[in-house]
């Protein structure tokens, strides 16, 4: 073995060790969740040497976790579908049609990036209260429907589609909706999937807004709900870690399955913001 090869192997080993240290908190949460509470507080070592599912059974039986799942899945799906649907329509008009106020609308959308959304929460809460939507799915969903980055990304992709394809559809007697849903959207399934997955993840992970607007435990989403259990368990880290992992499982799975799309979406949306 040459010294160069040896150096290379040492480098790979070093990077792998660093990566394993980086995910150690997740490994440790999993290990803890699979132990009995008595062993968790005894000096039991770092190896995953027990497969005890009591904590999981306990959490599912005593908390409203299934209800929070339902709230999170429901609100996140509705947010994702609405954001993409309204976003692609608006982006299509901005990209392909001429209408008065077009430049102003685009400018407003771009400028809205600068507004820190939490600064609007007081006003948004008052609005939701006026509409009678505090502690409801609609209350959780509505303010999260404004995701300008989706429009900007779609517009860039729509801008890039050659005009000849458009003319062909128009000659066949197709209208704007045929164009959008039969031509522009099918050509952009990839980016649609990427935007969908990242919109879903950020809706699922939003903490501050659902925390303000969901006032009863049965209306909470996963990230908010699991902080309530914290208060009722006292110190019971096995159950808390089981709860944390059950809460994280959907996004971890979504990420592992759609990894390439997530990476793509992060890179594209960050490029837009810069």
Partner 1 sequence: MSSTRRKSRELRSAIILVLPFMVIFTVFFLYPTVKVVMLSFTNAPLIGEGEWVGLDNYVRLLSDRLFFTSLWNNLYFVLLTVIPTTVIALLIALAVSRLSGRLQALVLTLFFLPYVLPVSVVTLIWAWMLDFQFGILQPLISTLAGRPVAVFKDPNWVMPMIALVTVWWTNGFNVLLFIAGLRNIPKDLYEAAALDGATAWQRFWRVTWPLLWPITALVLTLQLILQLKLFDQVYLLSQGGPFNQSYVVLLQMYREAFQLNNGGYASALAMVLFAVIVILSVVQFQVLKIRGRK
> Is the Cβ of residue 187 or residue 233 nearer to partner 1 in the bound state?
233
Q: What angle do CA 184, 167, 154 make, to 5 degrees?
A: 25
CA dist., res. 88 & res. 132, Å (int): 30
Report the residue from 132, 167, 207, 257 that binds partner 1 according to the rule CB under 8 A.
207
Which candidate, 242, 241, 207, places its Cα nearest to that of 223?
207
Shortest approach of partner 1 to residue 255 CB, angstroms? Answer: 4
Q: Which residues of 128-138 are buried (b: 16+ CB within 10 A; e: fewer)?
A: beeeebbebbe
Shortest approach of partner 1 to residue 111 CB, angstroms? Answer: 10
> Is the Cβ of residue 123 or residue 165 nearer to partner 1 in the bound state?
123
Structure tokens at 189: 């399934």
- Restricted to residues 64-123, the positions that interact with partner 1 (CB under 8 A) are 82, 85-87, 89-90, 92-94, 97-99, 102, 105, 108-109, 112, 114-116, 118-123
The answer to the question of residue 227 lying near partner 1 (CB under 8 A) is yes
Q: Looking at residue 34, what DSSP letter applies?
A: T
The answer to the question of residue 233 lying near partner 1 (CB under 8 A) is no
Stretch that binds partner 1, among 50-58, 59-67, 173-181, 183-191 (CB under 8 A): 173-181
Our CA dihedral for 87, 88, 91, 96, rounded to 10 degrees, sits at: -160
Report the residue from 16, 57, 107, 165 that binds partner 1 according to the rule CB under 8 A.
16
């Amino acid at each position: 073995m040459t010294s160069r090869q040896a150096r290379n192997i040492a480098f790979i080993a070093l990077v792998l060790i660093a990566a394993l240290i980086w995910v150690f908190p997740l490994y440790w949460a999993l290990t803890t969740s699979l132990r009995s509470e008595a062993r968790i507080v005894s000096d039991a070592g770092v190896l995953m040497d027990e497969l005890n599912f009591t904590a999981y059974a306990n959490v599912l039986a005593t908390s409203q976790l299934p209800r929070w799942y339902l709230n999170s899945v429901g609100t996140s799906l509705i947010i994702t579908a609405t954001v993409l649907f309204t976003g692609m329509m608006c982006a299509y008009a901005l990209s392909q049609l001429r209408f008065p106020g077009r430049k102003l609308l685009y400018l407003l959308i771009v400028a809205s990036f600068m507004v820190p959304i939490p600064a609007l929460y007081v006003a948004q809460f008052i609005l939701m209260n006026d509409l009678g939507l505090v502690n409801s799915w609609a209350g959780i969903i509505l303010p999260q429907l404004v995701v300008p980055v989706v429009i900007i990304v779609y517009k860039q992709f729509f801008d890039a589609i050659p005009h000849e394809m458009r003319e062909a559809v128009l000659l066949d007697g197709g209208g704007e909706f045929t164009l959008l849903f039969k031509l522009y959207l099918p050509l952009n399934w990839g980016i649609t999937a990427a935007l969908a997955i990242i919109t879903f993840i950020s809706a699922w992970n939003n903490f501050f807004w659902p925390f303000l607007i969901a006032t009863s435990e049965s209306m909470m989403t996963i990230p908010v709900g699991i902080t309530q259990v914290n208060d009722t368990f006292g110190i019971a880290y096995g159950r808390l870690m089981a709860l944390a992992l059950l809460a994280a499982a959907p996004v971890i799975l979504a990420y592992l399955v759609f990894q390439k799309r997530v990476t793509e979406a992060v890179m594209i949306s960050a490029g837009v913001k810069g």
